[in-house]
Amino acid sequence: MTKQTGNTGSNLRVDGQALWTDLMETARFGGTPKGGIRRLTLTDEDRQVRDWFVKTCESLGCTVTFDSMGNLFARRPGQDNALPPITMGSHLDTQPTGGKYDGILGVLGGLSVLRALHRSGYTTRHPIELINWTNEEGSRFTPPMMCSGVFAGIFTEQEVLDKRDRAGIRFGDELERIGYRGAEPCGQHPVTAYFELHIEQGPILEAEEKTIGIVEGVQGMRWYEVTVHGKDAHAGSTPMPMRHDALVASAKMIEALSEIAFAHAPTAVGTVGLIENRPNSNNVVPGETFFTVDLRDPNDAVVLEMETEFRKRFPDIAESCGVTLDIVQIWDAPAVHFSPACIDMVAEAAAEGGYSARRMVSGPGHDAAYLASVAPTSMIFVPCKDGLSHNEEESILEPDAEAGANVLLRAVLKADAAFSREP
């Protein structure tokens, strides 16, 4: 392999057609009849796409390892392999009714970077690594981003290994079952810098006809679990004034949460995305409900203010409906500000590629939010149709996918040059 030094590989480009082919091929793993993907973490479908990832990366001359949380690292050697790698990555798992691009675009965009380097014979000074983070979505095991969280010291290995899904299946047992629990303790893998390519999952880039989002940070978010305790009763013989209807109380709480979020618009959002009604029978007054609350805003103080408001209003509603409730906070992810140096690298890469761009903050959480506490980090967004994500109809344009991967390539090469300089 020819070693090139003294430049940043500015003539390199990714193969956009190969990237799109990879996106369509990997959509087979967990593909749904509606054209989306159901690839929940640590399922057989997750194992299948991981196997494909390993095989494909190895065909490009990479060595693939995985740590104790199943995070995958595909390493391309550099000129000085004693240096910690420049890294890029995202995730392969999806929502139950997910699309073809959320998460995996960042993995396959990184793969296209490795392919460009491999085919050109260009050798960076640092090793370059592509990472697949386990359980970013949090749709099967809660909370999300658990394994990048372990990597960053937010969670312990044991608490994540002991997490159980709604069916009571243990995370650690499933990780062992699919064969992706490694020996390296999670968090001991060195990183010089980290870049993550992702679809925007929002409408701004498309509305403004921009190709690249230069992501400066991630908004703050908190998750809660709410259980409302009423009393089961016969639907035909229990008078309305004598009911302790948990579902009616929950409906009023959900409406209150929406009012709170609207009061803090346009930046704040509040969502109830999961609800369970018990005993869930046609002719029984609901005796218990369970639902989740998701609060987000770029300003942590606003998130706290919304929490204070719903913690005041929910008990008042419960009392008026003759029920009781429990509120448990299960996740707290403060707002994150990315590395100015890495942000500038993304901005310069977009400008050099001739792509229209704008700076922005991410609404959704990403593994990059935790990596930012470990190493200099930034993200690259590309538009998705109508801002739709976490949906089987999720759609992006092939040229935008290629543009995002080219910006990722340029940013990685800039980081390789910048972090190689003597202080």
Mind listing the pLDDT tens digit for each residue in 343-370? 999 999 999 999 999 999 998 889 999 9
**Under a CB-based contact definition with an 8 Å cutoff, are residues 411 and 195 in contact?**
yes
**Under a CB-based contact definition with an 8 Å cutoff, are residues 103 and 398 in contact?**
no
Question: Number of folded domains in the chain?
Answer: 2
Establish if 163 belongs to a structural domain: yes
Q: Which residues contact 19 (CB under 8 A, 6 or more apart)?
A: 108, 109, 111, 112, 401, 402, 405
pLDDT lower than 50: segments of the chain? 1-8, 422-423
Provide the phi-psi class of 309: left if phi over 0, else alpha when psi is between -120 and 50, else beta.
Answer: alpha
Residues 153 and 234 in one domain: no
- The span from the CA of 164 to the CA of 145, in Å, is 15
Residues 214 and 238 in one domain: no
- Give, for 132, the enclosing helix (H) or strand (E): strand 128-132
Residues 322 and 205 in one domain: no
SS3 label, residue 84: coil
333, 359, 385 — which closes off a domain? 333
SS3 label, residue 136: coil
Residues 229 and 313 in one domain: yes
- The span from the CA of 302 to the CA of 264, in Å, is 8
309, 333, 357 — which closes off a domain? 333
**Under a CB-based contact definition with an 8 Å cutoff, are residues 380 and 411 in contact?**
yes
Q: Which residues contact 40 (CB under 8 A, 6 or more apart)?
A: 30, 46, 93, 94, 96, 137, 139, 140
pLDDT at 421: 59
Alpha-carbon Rg of the chain, whole angstroms? 23
Residues 83 and 155 in one domain: yes
280, 312, 333 — which closes off a domain? 333
Establish if 7 belongs to a structural domain: no
- The span from the CA of 192 to the CA of 379, in Å, is 15
Residues 311 and 375 in one domain: no
- pTM score of the predicted model: 0.84
Q: Which domain holds residue 385?
A: 16-219+335-418
Residues 161 and 301 in one domain: no
Residues 66 and 135 in one domain: yes
CATH number of domain containing 296: 3.30.70.360
CATH number of domain containing 362: 3.40.630.10
Residues 412 and 345 in one domain: yes
**88 burial class (0-12, 13-18, 19+ CB within 10 angstroms)?**
buried
pLDDT, tens digit, for every residue of 84-100? 999 999 999 999 999 99
